[in-house]
Amino acid sequence: MRSQEYKNNQVSPMDSQLKLTSRIFDHADPHDVSDYVNEHVGPHCIRLSAKTRPEASLSHRKFGRLDLCQIRYGGQVQVTSPALGSLYHLQVLQRGHCLWRGRGQEHVFTPGELLLINPDDPVDLTYSDDCEKLIVKLPAAFLEQACLENRWKAPREGIRFSDNRYRLDQMEGFDSLLGLVCHEAESASSVGLVQEQYSRIIASKLLCLLTNNVSREGVEGCPTFGRLVDYIEEHIKQDITVEQLAELARMSPRSLYVLFERKAGTTPKSFIRQRKLERVRCSLSDPEGRVRNVTEIAMDYGFLHLGRFSESYRNAFGELPSDTLRRAH
């Protein structure tokens, strides 16, 4: 019945796979494959069946800010992890089966099903001898950026998908998208800009297709970057925190960091510190100003550690603040 369903909908889990040109391991020790996965795909531990032979294989490609990994351990293996940290995993079953345990439930995944693992989800998977899957690794910050670009509201506690189980044939073309991504990843002529666009489509598609805690109605009145800068300028002598700016922008701190990285190429704290330094320099450089000494103006702008202030000032402008004040007067 399932094979007929795939035929009718022109869906196959094997449409989305990496080729031999991406092969890193073949007929290898599963522990070697596991070590590589820990480094490039996500933290985990493995427990092998006593009958497991050194027949593991793994293919891997970086694709924009995503990682594509096709893996087979070649024997029954249990994969566990307390959590993935700041990563989401999409795991598409292609062959065999995989037992998932989580949230007091368990489910046997079969070809054509997709397992979605949130960053804080504990991982408990048991692969069959012939299990093979495609894993797509997405950094959490990437999904936050997708919300920002689409003007969707992500919760401050982070994006979370409420369901772990999906079928590719019910995901409105997502299987075809994965197939295109795998093909593009293998292309010798693939360029970074194209990879970035595909990666963004995947992130947006997931947020649209799968049940999650993101509001996609749009955030009316969400301050633009310019309005955040205006707020910083108006309160420049105060201790402005990331939490204050995130609250003002009605976005999570992680989304705020993404916004500042895109618009200013730095973090919110570094941006604020640089603006404070520029204001201090302007005051020290004014020949008609009433600045009596460096300590006074530094304290006025919240620089309480004068040694660090002088070092930051010199790194920013190539001279000590006392040199700027002396030249002005």
Predicted confidence at residue 15, as pLDDT, reads 62
Task: Tell whether the model's pLDDT for residue 107 goes beyond 60.
Answer: yes
pLDDT tens for 147-199 read 877 778 888 888 999 999 999 888 888 888 999 999 998 888 877 778 888 88
Is residue 75 scored above 60 in pLDDT? yes
My answer on whether 86 and 111 are in the same domain is: yes
pLDDT of amino acid 217:
64
Cα-to-chain-centroid distance, residue 71: 22
Tokens (6 digits) for 57: 């294989």
pLDDT grade, residue 19 (50/70/90)? confident
75 lies in the same domain as 188: yes
The pLDDT-based confidence of 21 (bands split at 50, 70, 90) is confident
* Domain membership flag for residue 230: yes
Supply the pLDDT for residue 2.
40
**Residue 214: inside a domain:** no
Which run of H or E residues covers position 328?
helix 321-328
* CATH number of domain containing 257: 1.10.10.60
Residue 11: is its pLDDT beyond 50?
no
Q: Domain end: 176, 209, 242, which one?
A: 209
If phi > 0 it is left, if psi is from -120 to 50 it is alpha, else beta; for residue 158 that is left
Nearest-10 Cα torsion for 304, 315, 226, 229: 10
Residues 249 and 175 placed together within one structural domain of the fold? no
pLDDT of residue 281: 85
Structurally, the chain folds into a number of domains equal to: 2
Q: Is residue 216 part of a domain?
A: no
* Structural domain range at position 245: 225-328
Q: Are residues 89 and 161 in the same domain?
A: yes
Evaluate the CA torsion angle 167, 20, 130, 38 in order and state its sign. negative
pTM: 0.66
- Single residue among 165, 184, 209 that ends a domain in this structure: 209
Question: Does 217 fall in a domain?
Answer: no
Question: Are 125 and 46 contained in the same domain?
Answer: yes
Q: For residue 265, what are the CA distances in angstroms to 194, 198, 269?
A: 22, 23, 12
- Of 180, 209, 238, the position where a domain reaches its end is 209
- Indicate if 142 and 277 belong to the same structural domain: no
Average pLDDT for 197-203:
89
Same domain, 177 and 275: no
Is 220 a member of any domain?
Answer: no
* pLDDT computed for residue 94 by the predictor: 94
Give me the chain's average pLDDT, please: 86
Q: Which of 3-12, 136-145, 269-278 has the lowest mean pLDDT?
A: 3-12
Q: Which CATH number is 113's domain given?
A: 2.60.120.10
Is residue 268 pLDDT above 90, yes or no?
Answer: yes
The reply to whether 218 falls in a domain is no
Segment 137-149 shows an average pLDDT of 86
Q: Is the pLDDT of residue 73 over 80?
A: yes
Claim to verify: residue 178 and residue 324 sit in the same structural domain: no
Same domain, 202 and 265: no
Do 105 and 248 lie in one domain? The reply is no
Statement to judge: residues 286 and 185 lie in one domain = no
Amino acid at 277: L
Q: Residues 241, 109: one domain?
A: no
Domain contains 43:
yes
